[in-house]
Chain A
Amino acid sequence: MTTPAQPTTTHVRPNYMLIWLYLFVMTIAEVLLAFELPVSRNLKLILLLVMAIWKAMLVALYFMHLKFERWRLRVIFLVPLPLAAILVTAVIMEKVR
């Protein structure tokens, strides 16, 4: 392979420990929400899903550096998501007739 050029850090490195703290706190919040807080089941479901997606986004954006990548790379990871959504929605639609 070619002698690699100097990696050019074009972005300020995020504070990884802070992200870790977010993830940690949100996990605890999730467990509390699921078991301790008196919220209705549907609200709980939505909140939990939102938090899970939020955490997943944090990992993808900061740990996997998607925030700092170009769109042409982000697209690779985004392509399967609508397909997954199509599959699940269609199969569920099948059930609710």
Chain B
Amino acid sequence: MTAPAHHEPMSFWRKYIFSTDHKIIGIQFLFVSLFFLLLGGLLAMQIRWQLGFPGKPLPGGGILPESMVSGGVILPEYYIQLVTMHGTFMVFFAIMPLLVGVYANFLIPLKLGGHDMAFPRINMWSFWLALLAGMIMLSGFFVPDGAPRAGWTMYAPLSARPDLSGATISQKLWSISIVILSLSSVMGSVNYITTVINHRAPGMTWFRMPLSVWALFITAILAVLALPVLQGAAILLLFDQTIGTHFFDPGAGGQALLWQHLFWFFGHPEVYILILPAMGMVSDIIANGSRKPIFGYHSMVFAIIGIAFLGWLVWGHHMFMSGMNPTLGSTFMVSTLLIAVPSAIKVFNWMGTMWRGNLRFHVPMLNAIGFVSMFTIGGLSGIFMAATPVDIPLHDTQFIVAHLHYVLFGGSLFALFAAIPYWFPKMFGRMMSERIGKVHFVLTFIFYNMTFFPMHIIGMGGQMRRIYDPTIYDFLKPQQPLNVFISYSAFALFAVQFLFAFNFLWSLKFGKKAPQNPWEDNGLEWSLPNPAPHGNWAPKTPNVYRGPYEFSSPEAGNKDFLPQTLKLPTDRDPVPVPLPAGGH
């Protein structure tokens, strides 16, 4: 239903709950995934407490049941539930829906001049299935054996055998939840791909699409091809857990490594699902903040495509230590190292965009710069692990934890701290506070580095991932002070996020009313009022005359931006092409 706004008013339920409007669905995803982000953060705090102060009672741990804490002290079985669920929530229910669920939904039609998604009803189902999956996953904490205990990667046979993991019900819930989530993601991604291909405004050619849309489009392609593999794997795992099949049971001819192959064949594209949209949105914001066209637009597009393509050829680097064929390992090493090339292109092009710009440091721009500098560290630390010999001491230690947090927190989350205030006016018609935003950025940037940078060092020292108590190892004892330091920084980092939460919630109601184009951007979405009305431009369609990055163009006159929809005397109207109909 894409009824234009002037049609009969819809009930609250149709309008905000079972909505088919892509913007409302995006906002629904936003609230749900921010909830899961908070939850994942809470779990992380408990992990940090345990690692920093093993054996000390968790403050406030008294409210947790005896099966999780004993005398306030986190139990080992609860600790592995924590690491498992922190990873699962953050990857599948926080970052992925925040980037893809929220911004693919919200931005694709708005930036391309569509009235809605190609399949609005499927879009609604995609959200509700994702929510259902999240609820099933969350319910794992409330079943008798507690949450899943095999790490977010669910390595079989640990995950397949309840007698070995100790969690009977929730392991199955994990599989079911992932099957549903994959279905939801595929539905969403089919929608995004179709919308990008077919529902563009006249004049919005492929190479006039903003990089955010390019990134989201490529991400959707990755998702559509990768998630079904995870779904298949989760189904095999579920059957192993419930009806006694033997896929991952070496005793009956199954293969333990098969799970890892299937999981990482999905998992590595998934890594790019989690970072490409962030890169795309950061590109938009950096061009806006620098008041300059993006440096090397075409190579940015091809870098995205290159990363996505190479992403299919590198999954084995997660399995270097799994006893894989060393020749295969060499192949994976080379393809992994090659990913550094398109990533380097992107970083240097962002810098090229800022070079000789006229930089405006609004909160989105600050966070975008934070993204570039932090993603660089994350990307560079990846090279250590891509070089297989160096990976040997570093694999499955805190070094990898540091690396992935530099990419996912320093990368994806900083991009979100940029994107949320940037498109907040478009969503809610109000601005988020710049002052709180700047304080939040500075403090987050400092505490974030204090938290995650030392993890590289304790990882080099050999601290294994997911261990409950590092102090029982002689070789880890000397670096325990650093663990304490990390924990304090992590608590501060978590506390600072309440600034963001406050800013977000407060601005919903009391933020400054947003002008139509608060960032003086060229994008199509800013030609609409804030918040964008139901049906977007319906029944009209905007005409597009140029690419999205014409900042400081000599044609713009005394302004330094040139909206895509602005018709200059020299511009000709694009010819709309009707959608093909009928059979062929």
Contacts and interface: CB of A to CB of B under 8 A. Distances in A.
Given A93-B328, A94-B324, A94-B325, A4 B261 contact: no
A7 interface: yes
B210 interface: no
A8 B584 contact: yes
A10 B261 contact: no
Given A2-B578, A79-B225, A83-B225, A90 B316 contact: yes
A6 B582 contact: yes
Given A87-B265, A90-B261, A4 B582 contact: yes
Contacts of B316: 90
Contact of A5 (B221, B325, B581): B581
Contact of A10 (B258, B324, B325, B584): B584
B328 A94 contact: yes
Given A7-B583, A97-B325, A91 B261 contact: yes
B32 interface: no
A49 B221 CA distance: 29
B271 interface: no
Contacts of A25: none
B579 interface: yes
Contacts of A7: 581-584
B257 interface: yes
Interface in A22-45: none
B313 interface: yes
B253 to A, nearest CB: 12
Nearest to A7: B582
Contacts of B327: 93, 97
B93 interface: no
B312 interface: yes
Contacts of B582: 4-7
B581 A83 contact: no
A93 B325 contact: yes
A15 interface: no
How many of chain A's residues touch chain B, expressed as a range?
A: 20 to 34
Contacts of A87: 229, 261, 265
A6 B580 CA distance: 10
Contacts of A8: 584
A4 B225 CA distance: 31
Contacts of B578: 2, 5
How many of chain B's residues touch chain A, expressed as a range?
A: 20 to 34
A16 to B, nearest CB: 15
Contacts of A9: 583-584
A10 B265 CA distance: 40
A77 to B, nearest CB: 12
A20 interface: no
Contacts of A10: 584
A50 B578 CA distance: 42
A8 B221 CA distance: 30
Interface string B309-353: 000110010000000110110000000000000000000000000
A94 B584 contact: no
Contacts of B581: 1-5, 7
A84 to B, nearest CB: 9
A79 B229 CA distance: 15
Given A90-B328, A93-B325, A94-B257, A83 B584 contact: no
A1 B261 CA distance: 44
Contact of A86 (B257, B312, B324, B580): B312
A80 B228 CA distance: 11
A54 interface: no
A54 to B, nearest CB: 25
Most-contacted residue by chain A among B229, B327, B578, B581 (CB, 10 A): B581
Contacts of B580: 5
Interface in B219-274: 221, 225, 229, 257-258, 261, 265
A94 B579 contact: no
A63 interface: no
A61 to B, nearest CB: 15
B166 to A, nearest CB: 29
A76 to B, nearest CB: 9
A84 B221 CA distance: 15
6 contacts: A2-B578, A4-B582, A10-B584, A80-B225, A91-B261, A93-B328
Given A65-B584, A97-B325, 12 more contacts: A4-B581, A5-B578, A5-B581, A9-B583, A68-B584, A83-B225, A83-B312, A87-B261, A87-B265, A93-B325, A93-B328, A94-B328
Interface of A: 1-10, 65, 68, 79-80, 83, 86-87, 90-91, 93-94, 97
* CB-based closest 9 A-B pairs: A4-B581, A7-B582, A7-B583, A97-B325, A4-B582, A91-B261, A5-B581, A87-B265, A94-B325
